[in-house]
Amino acid sequence: MMDRTYKVKNIENVISSKKDEKKRYYRKNYNFFELLKKIKLWPSRKGILHGIKSITVIGNKAEITTHCNEKFMIRNSKNSRASRWLRNKWLVKVCPRCKIPQWKLEKYASTIITQDYGAKF
């Protein structure tokens, strides 16, 4: 069985991403919640990357349910810790219970989020 526990800081060191793969760009002014709905990944406070099962938006907040059935209440903020983590692709480890498929991690690794995305919408 494959060991899915990675102890590195940058996801690009973890994933053997194909160099010639098309880069995906998210434009600035991108809604943070919409971004999460697209990438379906959530970095927890401890730096564990979870797979998102569902997002329920309630006004300016959203409830995230991960595949390992953890719930997180989040704010729609580009300055949030999670937003920074996703932008910089920091990562301590991948949640072993969420079973995030490799292709999804590779897609994330090849995604470039511009610095000021989600500024105002």
Q: Which stretch binds Zn ion (CB under 5 A): 20-28, 35-43, 52-60, 94-102?
A: 94-102
Distance CA 20, CA 32 (A): 27
Asked whether 77 and 120 are in contact (CB, 8 A), the reply is no
Residues in the interface with Zn ion (CB under 5 A) total 6
Q: Which of 16, 27, 8, 15 is closest to 112 using CA atoms?
A: 27
Q: Which is nearer to Zn ion, 68 or 92 (CB)?
A: 68
- 49 contributes a contact to Zn ion by CB under 5 A: no
**Residue whose tokens read 């994330």:** 108
Could you give the string, one character per residue 53-72, with x where binding to Zn ion holds by CB under 5 A and - elsewhere? -------------x-x----
Indicate whether 87 belongs to the interface with Zn ion (CB under 5 A): no
The candidate with the shortest Cα–Cα distance to 87, out of 65, 119, 63, is 119
- Give SS3 for 48: strand
Q: Is 36 in the site for Zn ion (CB under 5 A)?
A: no
List residues near Zn ion by CB under 5 A.
50, 66, 68, 95, 97-98
